[in-house]
């Protein structure tokens, strides 16, 4: 960042604010294996270590256009969290739009973030493509809302997939610039990105150089958490690979993007390292490997999908969980917002 104000090196939490985990998923499209392996699964052990807040970031879901069935998609993500093992008694689970502090803090932080910083965000460039003039202001300002999501709770640890690293760096810069500009050292901690596991970026099954994504036009590019066993097996069978058998060193396999992606997925789902998977399948044809990867994927995703479906038969109960979560979130966020407004000089 070029601004002088953010050059000073500081500890990420000099004021010693209590540790707090914050993360979220937007309710757009279908949740996929990338969301699970890159984010949700890594949240589970954190519940026993620190207070955790897991948000369904529905305000982010409208940046590329209003979502039909937004409320149902929000419930689906909440059900996925719970089905994957998030305990809503322990962790706070809620919808972002139910806590006004996110949007209000985002406005204040919009006045802290610099246009030059946002201009560098690669996700915006990818999503806007050649249509920069026609996409919403919301899509452009999305990373500032993300900073507000975290800082509204003084979040200290943010477990995300690798694609969100740049946005987290921006959130750190915004926090520090607010603290510096208003001369309130340590007011906001600088949230630490936690990018974990052997697959911090799960790639598309159709193109090993593109991220697995909800918005990919091809459903064959991703394993959705809602896919049937047959769909999972068929997508893995059709996944692109190169003609060579599995083998070579880790560096050699990493130079083969599709092969590396499938081995990484196997490693993440089995709890092994990529090197261990390479050793087990050294010399194997992809046809054999894919059959075993499909069985493994079904054994992990199948039970989550079934629990999700069961939870979604009682929308009222999901709404009760989200309402209770929102009440708990408001209790934390509103005093921090009040302090922020005071620091910023509002009446």
Q: Is 86 in the site for ligand AQP (CB under 6 A)?
A: no
Q: Is 25 in the site for ligand AQP (CB under 6 A)?
A: yes
Please report the DSSP string for 250-285 in residue order.
Answer: HHHHHTSHHHHHHHHHHHHHHT--HHHHHHHTTT--
Contacts of 3-12 with C-beta under 8 Å, sequence gap 24+, read 3/114, 3/117, 3/177, 5/176, 5/177, 5/180, 5/181, 6/173, 6/176, 6/177, 6/180, 8/176, 8/180, 10/176, 10/185, 10/190, 12/156, 12/172, 12/189, 12/190, 12/191, 12/192
Site for ligand AQP in 98-137 (CB under 6 A): none
Among 19, 70, 114, 214, binds ligand AQP (CB under 6 A): 214
Strand partners, 21: 52, 157
Q: Is 198 in the site for ligand AQP (CB under 6 A)?
A: no
Site for ligand AQP in 2-21 (CB under 6 A): none
Site for ligand AQP in 29-68 (CB under 6 A): 29, 34-35, 38-39
Q: Is 333 in the site for ligand AQP (CB under 6 A)?
A: no
Q: Is 315 a catalytic residue?
A: no
Instruction: Quote the least distance from Cβ 197 to ligand AQP, whole Å.
Output: 9
Binding mask 242-271 for ligand AQP (x = CB under 6 A): ------------------------------
**Any alpha helices (H) in the chain, and if so which ranges?**
33-35, 41-43, 70-84, 101-110, 115-119, 122-128, 137-151, 165-181, 229-238, 250-254, 257-270, 274-280, 286-311, 315-343
Q: Is 211 in the site for ligand AQP (CB under 6 A)?
A: yes
| HSE-up (13 A, CA, CB side) for residue 40 | 25
Instruction: Quote the least distance from Cβ 221 to ligand AQP, whole Å.
Output: 10
Q: Which of 25, 162, 18 is nearest to 94 (CA)?
A: 25
**Active-site option among 211, 235, 274, 290:** 211
How many residues bind ligand AQP (CB under 6 A)? The answer is: 19
Q: Is 238 a catalytic residue?
A: no
Among 58, 76, 149, 163, binds ligand AQP (CB under 6 A): 163
Among 21, 160, 225, 293, binds ligand AQP (CB under 6 A): 160
Q: Is 235 a catalytic residue?
A: no
- Note the residues at the interface with ligand AQP (CB under 6 A): 25-26, 28-29, 34-35, 38-39, 160-161, 163-164, 201-202, 211-215
Known catalytic residues? 127, 211, 214
């Amino acid at each position: 960042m070029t601004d002088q104000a953010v050059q000073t090196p500081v500890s990420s939490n000099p004021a010693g604010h209590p540790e707090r985990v914050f993360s979220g998923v937007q309710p757009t499209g279908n949740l996929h294996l990338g969301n699970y392996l890159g984010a949700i699964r890594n949240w589970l052990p954190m519940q026993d270590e620190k207070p955790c807040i897991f948000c369904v970031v529905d305000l982010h879901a409208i940046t590329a256009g209003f979502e039909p069935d937004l409320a149902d998609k929000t419930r689906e993500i909440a059900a996925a969290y719970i089905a994957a093992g998030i305990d809503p008694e322990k962790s706070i689970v809620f919808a972002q739009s139910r806590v006004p502090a996110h949007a209000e803090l985002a406005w204040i932080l919009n006045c802290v973030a610099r246009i030059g910083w946002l201009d560098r965000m690669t996700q915006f460039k990818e999503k806007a493509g050649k249509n920069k003039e026609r996409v919403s202001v919301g899509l452009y300002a999305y990373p500032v809302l993300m900073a507000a999501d975290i800082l509204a709770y003084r979040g200290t640890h943010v477990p995300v997939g690798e694609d969100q690293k740049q946005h987290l760096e921006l959130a750190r810069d915004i926090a520090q610039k607010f603290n510096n500009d208003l001369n309130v050292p340590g007011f906001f901690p600088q949230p630490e990105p936690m990018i974990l596991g052997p697959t911090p970026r799960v790639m598309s099954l159709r193109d090993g150089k593109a991220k697995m994504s909800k918005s990919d036009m091809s459903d064959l590019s991703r394993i959705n958490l809602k896919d049937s066993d047959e769909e999972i097996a068929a997508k893995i069978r059709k996944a692109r690979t190169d003609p060579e058998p599995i083998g070579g060193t880790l560096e050699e396999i990493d130079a083969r993007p599709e092969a590396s992606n499938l081995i990484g997925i196997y490693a993440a789902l089995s709890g092994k390292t990529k090197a261990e998977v390479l050793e087990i399948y050294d010399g194997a044809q992809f046809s054999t490997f894919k059959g075993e990867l499909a069985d493994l994927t079904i054994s992990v995703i199948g039970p989550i999908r079934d629990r999700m479906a069961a939870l979604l038969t009682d929308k009222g109960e999901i709404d009760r969980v989200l309402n209770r979560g929102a009440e708990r979130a408001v209790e934390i966020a509103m005093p921090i917002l009040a302090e922020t407004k005071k620091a910023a000089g509002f009446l």
